[in-house]
Amino acid sequence: MAANAARSFIDSVQTTNKAVKIILMGDLNDYPTDRAPQMISSVLTPMIVSKSGEFGGSSHYKSEWNILDHIMVSGNCFKKKGFSVVKNSGVIYSAPFLLTTYKDEIVPNRTYGGGKYLGGYSDHLPVSIDLQW
């Protein structure tokens, strides 16, 4: 399981370097309440949460918005030495051009749907955090 590998890597790096700053991000294909993100969030702080965006998620599936796109950071990322992560800065970006209406619901403006080119950007909304130096 990828989460086990990620957790092992995080643990080994943190054991070797107590001051290390770790940022893990990507489409984990898991919701925040699923086992894999929970395993990682026990050592890294989730930055993308439902209140990070207008719709409560970065992807839309079966009439529900969900978070599949994660950014998690180690506690050292909040320390001001070198770069640092701005607390509570996680954002799900939902500009109008990234959205469309499908079956009376607002959804991400996909590039493809059902094998057909739709001309949109992605089936997920982008996520970000603020860093400072």
What is the reported pTM? 0.91
Which residue numbers in the chain have pLDDT < 50?
Answer: none
If one counts the domains in the chain, the total is: 1
Altogether, the residues listed in the chain come to a count of 133
Q: How far is CA 129 from CA 10, 67, 75, 87, in A?
A: 20, 15, 15, 9
User: For position 60, what pLDDT does the model report?
Assistant: 97
Q: Which residue has the tokens 């590998």?
A: 5
Structure tokens at 123: 């089936």
Range of the domain at 58: 2-132
DSSP H or E run through 5: helix 2-16
DSSP H or E run through 15: helix 2-16
Q: Which residues contact 125 (CB under 8 A, 6 or more apart)?
A: 53, 55, 57, 58, 59, 69, 92, 93, 94, 98, 108
Residues 38, 4: Cα–Cα separation, whole Å: 11
User: For position 1, what pLDDT does the model report?
Assistant: 66
